[in-house]
């Protein structure tokens, strides 16, 4: 059986606590706090190109969420430098055209291709080390799905297999083979 609170100050404090919790939950602040805590940002230094076919261009946002403000757009096939990754979002800078500055974009809207032009392809690995197990080989000049990055390594998917590509095997420009 619950005890009744007799002290008016205690009643007021309990009421205020419930009001604050309600405001936090209903305003979306809880989602932003949760996102901030759950996303460990990884520093990156790779290049990718825009694959989003929206006529307006790829939306660049002020933060790593669709809840953040759109601060610009980048046209399809333009190259961006990725400087950080957090979950399904990457922080970009140095767009070759369109948006100037730094902002966040959704990873699935970016791509890259393999280098290895004139070879039988490039290896990709279980983790960010060439000493790790190779998970496969990707033909030269082949588009791959970008999943994320860490340092100068790109996490990619090719024919359903996920792995990591070294910087020397990445081509972040859509309009050239990077050979």
38-97 residue pLDDT tens: 457 899 999 999 999 999 999 999 999 999 999 999 999 999 999 999 999 999 998 999
Quote the pTM value: 0.75
At residue 68, the pLDDT reads 97
158-170 residue pLDDT tens: 999 999 999 999 9
CA distance 179 to 171: 9
């Amino acid at each position: 059986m619950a005890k009744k609170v007799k002290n008016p100050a205690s009643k007021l404090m309990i009421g205020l606590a419930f009001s604050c919790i309600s405001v936090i939950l209903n305003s979306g602040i809880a989602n932003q706090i949760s996102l901030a805590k759950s996303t460990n940002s990884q520093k990156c230094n790779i290049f990718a190109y825009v694959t989003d076919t929206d006529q307006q261009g790829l939306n660049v946002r002020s933060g790593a969420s669709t809840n953040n403000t759109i601060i610009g757009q980048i046209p399809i096939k333009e190259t961006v430098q990725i400087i950080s990754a957090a979950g399904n979002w990457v922080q970009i800078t140095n767009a070759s055209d369109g948006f100037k500055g730094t902002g966040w974009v959704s990873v699935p809207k970016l791509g890259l291709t393999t280098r290895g032009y004139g070879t039988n392809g490039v290896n990709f690995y279980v983790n960010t080390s060439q000493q790790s197990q190779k998970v496969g080989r990707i033909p030269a000049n082949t588009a791959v799905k970008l999943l994320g990055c860490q340092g100068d390594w790109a996490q990619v998917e090719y024919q359903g297999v996920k792995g990591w590509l070294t910087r020397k095997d990445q081509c972040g420009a859509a309009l050239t083979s990077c050979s």
